[in-house]
């Protein structure tokens, strides 16, 4: 086992702000000043940074905030918060990413006004520029994206409802799914409005659930009791944190992440047997299928209609019933991955896609902010 | 530093300068001395070119509704209200509310004008249909 990062990566720039008390400065401002200094020290410019690493005690998604604050769309992002050791841990993850060719210029940064925050320092960070209006998040951001998709492409409420109906039909084939009663397009349209244009049936469930998976090297994987499922490709793209900073509300970072993941896997869309994507809201499925390339931009509403992504349709999507009808315990990403594994092992029961060998998975994070596409393959696809 | 700068500590950053401007009745956004682009929300470095040379200008207040939604509430919680994204004519996009018309009558593409209003006692930039009451 090689397992070595020795000689994989080196530090070429550093930046330090003044220390002590920095009254009237937000922690993001202090962070960005240090970034500017480090870039100058290295003779680099901000647009050359393609990997972002950061953590903060108060912000659950500091990596996203940092990237948005700096106007970056990183290909590699790590916001793992394991306490004060996080920034040494980032040396490991940054070197691993650089060694693997996933990013070239890694930015590790931190800013804090821990001393002066209570005395003229600014507290909550950039989120305050949206929370002051009391949007009902996260649904509000997705509702805004839906309004824009309807305006630009003529997508209808009925077409969004078709996503929820298809998910329910898959859920009815899955004994573990939480919501399995029949629903119709009219049921979705007539459900309680939450944030127009979306109703409660356009929204994922709120459930309890646990999930876990184990990965080992592919060399070792053949020695385990169950047939292995291989990671063939994976790619990340981040465009923003808050919805007002999403440059194009109808084009998500999937349009960048999915082609890179498929290139790494050496596959095309024609090879995909099943799609598992993060359907927190009905608009997600429309956006992600378009951005993966299954249909041209703007035609997603039509693509998901008429049962095309439901059981027996042309493209199996969210075969467990998805976040809309199967399970959604706040962070759904692992549940879609595990459904892909069940399909590729051939153990998905009544919802099994015959001969499924390639699954295209997409995790969505934040407010359409970060997208991670993974290609999983059944044993024999390597 | 600004007209209202007497409340700001020396070296105050963009968030504090923006808040002081708002308190003084001004809607200020940043303009980059490096590339000329405008920036909102307030930043330390330009999101277009990375320059630290960000100055302040008063926003024209002219904008266009880019996306719109209506937050529905139970009657006892208060009225439904609009949440919109507005493209400022200087370029940046911001979240806000369009008021003075029913929340569900706000349409994408509508021209709107900024004013300083209040939500729960906090001063905020709001928008109303252009040409109304300005």
The structural domains of chain B, with segments of one domain joined by +, span 14-58, 62-129
Chain A residues with CB inside 8 Å of B38's CB?
none
Q: Do A197 and B95 touch (CB under 8 A)?
A: no
Chain A residues with CB inside 8 Å of B5's CB?
none
Which CA distances in Å does A339 have to A23, A171, A275, A327, A356? 50, 12, 10, 11, 12
pLDDT tens digits, residue range A86-125? 999 999 999 999 999 999 999 999 999 888 876 444 456 7
Do residues A95 and A8 touch, judged by C-beta distance below 8 A? yes
Chosen for mutation from A22, A147, A149 (greatest number of chain B CBs closer than 10 Å) is A147
Q: What dotted CATH number matches B62-129?
A: 2.40.50
> How far is B131 from chain A, CA to nearest CA, in Å?
23
Which CA distances in Å does A154 have to A65, A307, A351? 32, 19, 32
User: How far apart, in whole angstroms, are the C-alpha atoms of residue A358 and residue A232?
Assistant: 9
CA angle at residue B34 from B33 to B39, to 5 degrees? 70
Q: Do A25 and B16 touch (CB under 8 A)?
A: yes
Q: How many CB pairs under 8 A join A and B?
A: 134
Structure tokens at B107: 């349409």
Residue A254, phi then psi, degrees to nearest 5: -60, -30
- What pLDDT, on a 0 to 100 scale, did the predictor assign at position B1? 40
- Taking 70 as the threshold, does the pLDDT of residue B4 lie above it? no
Is residue B105 within 8 angstroms of chain A, CB to CB? no
Of B41, B69, B72, the CB nearest to A129: B41
Chain B residues with CB inside 8 Å of A70's CB?
45, 47, 50
- What pLDDT, on a 0 to 100 scale, did the predictor assign at position A59? 85
Cβ density class B62-74: b for 16+ within 10 Å, e for less: bbbbbbbbbbbee
Q: Where are the beta strands (DSSP E) in chain A?
A: 51-53, 76-78, 106-108, 193-196, 198-199, 229-238, 274-277, 358-365, 370-378
- Taking 50 as the threshold, does the pLDDT of residue A188 lie above it? yes
Q: Do A144 and B67 touch (CB under 8 A)?
A: yes
Banded model confidence at residue A127, pLDDT cuts 50, 70, 90: confident
Residue in the block written with tokens 């993966």: A292
Is residue B22 within 8 angstroms of chain A, CB to CB? no
Chosen for mutation from B17, B83, B118 (greatest number of chain A CBs closer than 10 Å) is B83
**Residue A14 burial by Cβ neighbours in a 10 Å radius (0-12, 13-18, 19+):** exposed
- Taking 50 as the threshold, does the pLDDT of residue B28 lie above it? yes
Q: Is the pTM of this model over 0.90?
A: yes
pLDDT tens digits, residue range B98-134? 999 999 999 999 999 999 999 999 999 999 999 865 4
Q: Do B12 and A24 touch (CB under 8 A)?
A: yes
Which residues lie below 8 Å from residue A181, measured CB to CB, with a gap of 6+? A168
ipTM of the complex: 0.92
pLDDT tens digits, residue range A47-72? 999 999 999 988 889 999 999 999 99
Structure tokens at A273: 């047997």
Which residue, A52, A37, A69, A56, is CA-closest to A117? Answer: A56
Which CA distances in Å does A324 have to A91, A281, B117? 38, 7, 38
User: How far apart, in whole angstroms, are the C-alpha atoms of residue A359 and residue A221?
Assistant: 19
Q: Do B45 and A47 touch (CB under 8 A)?
A: no
The pLDDT mean for chain A works out to 94
Do residues A62 and A54 touch, judged by C-beta distance below 8 A? yes
Do residues A128 and A59 touch, judged by C-beta distance below 8 A? no
User: How far apart, in whole angstroms, are the C-alpha atoms of residue A247 and residue A148?
Assistant: 12
Structure tokens at A59: 């912000």
Banded model confidence at residue A226, pLDDT cuts 50, 70, 90: very high
Chosen for mutation from B67, B78, B87, B109 (greatest number of chain A CBs closer than 10 Å) is B67
Q: Do A25 and B12 touch (CB under 8 A)?
A: yes
User: How far apart, in whole angstroms, are the C-alpha atoms of residue A333 and residue B5?
Assistant: 47
């Amino acid at each position: 086992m090689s397992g070595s990062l020795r000689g994989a990566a080196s530090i070429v720039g550093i930046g330090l702000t003044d220390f002590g008390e920095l009254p009237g400065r937000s922690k993001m401002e202090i962070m960005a000043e240090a970034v500017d200094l480090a870039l100058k020290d290295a003779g680099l410019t901000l647009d050359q940074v393609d990997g972002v690493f950061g953590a903060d005690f108060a912000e659950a998604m500091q990596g996203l905030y940092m990237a948005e604050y700096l106007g970056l769309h990183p290909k590699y992002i790590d916001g793992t918060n394991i306490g004060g050791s996080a920034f040494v841990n980032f040396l490991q993850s940054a070197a691993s990413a650089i060694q693997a060719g996933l990013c070239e210029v890694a930015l590790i940064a931190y800013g804090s006004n821990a001393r002066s925050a209570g005395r003229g320092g600014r507290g909550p960070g950039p989120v305050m520029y949206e929370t002051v209006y009391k949007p009902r998040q996260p649904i509000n951001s997705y509702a805004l994206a839906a309004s824009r998709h309807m305006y630009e492409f003529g997508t209808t409420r009925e077409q969004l409802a078709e996503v929820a109906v298809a998910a329910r039909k898959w859920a009815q084939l899955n004994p573990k799914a939480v919501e399995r009663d029949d629903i119709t397009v009219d049921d979705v349209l007539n459900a309680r409005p939450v944030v127009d244009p979306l109703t409660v049936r356009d929204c994922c469930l709120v459930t309890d659930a646990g999930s876990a998976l184990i990965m080992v090297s592919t060399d070792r994987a053949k020695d385990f009791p169950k047939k292995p499922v291989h990671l063939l490709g994976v790619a990340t793209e981040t465009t923003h944190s808050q919805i007002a900073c999403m440059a194009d509300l109808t084009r998500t970072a999937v349009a960048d992440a999915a082609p890179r993941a498929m290139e790494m896997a050496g596959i095309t869309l024609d090879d995909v047997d099943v799609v598992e994507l993060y359907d927190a809201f009905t608009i997600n499925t429309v956006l992600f299928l378009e951005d993966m390339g299954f249909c041209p931009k703007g035609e997603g509403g039509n693509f998901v209609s008429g049962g095309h992504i439901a059981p027996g349709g042309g493209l199996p999507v969210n075969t467990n019933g998805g976040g809309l009808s199967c399970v959604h315990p706040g962070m759904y990403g692992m549940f879609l991955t595990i459904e892909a594994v069940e399909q590729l092992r051939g153990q998905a029961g009544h919802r099994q896609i015959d001969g499924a060998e390639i699954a295209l998975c997409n995790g969505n994070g934040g407010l359409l902010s970060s997208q991670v596409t993974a290609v999983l393959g059944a044993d024999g696809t390597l | 530093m600004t007209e209202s700068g007497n409340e700001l500590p020396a070296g105050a950053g963009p968030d504090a300068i923006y808040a002081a401007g708002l308190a003084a009745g001004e809607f200020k956004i940043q303009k980059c001395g490096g590339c000329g682009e405008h920036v909102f929300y307030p930043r330390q470095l330009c999101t277009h070119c990375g320059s630290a040379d960000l100055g302040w200008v008063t926003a024209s207040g002219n904008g266009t509704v880019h996306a719109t939604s209506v937050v529905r509430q139970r009657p006892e919680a208060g009225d439904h209200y609009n949440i919109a994204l507005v493209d400022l004519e200087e370029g940046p996009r911001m979240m806000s509310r369009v008021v003075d018309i029913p929340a569900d009558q706000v349409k994408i593409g509508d021209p709107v004008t900024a004013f300083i209003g209040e939500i729960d006692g906090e001063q905020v930039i709001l928008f109303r249909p252009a040409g109304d009451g300005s």
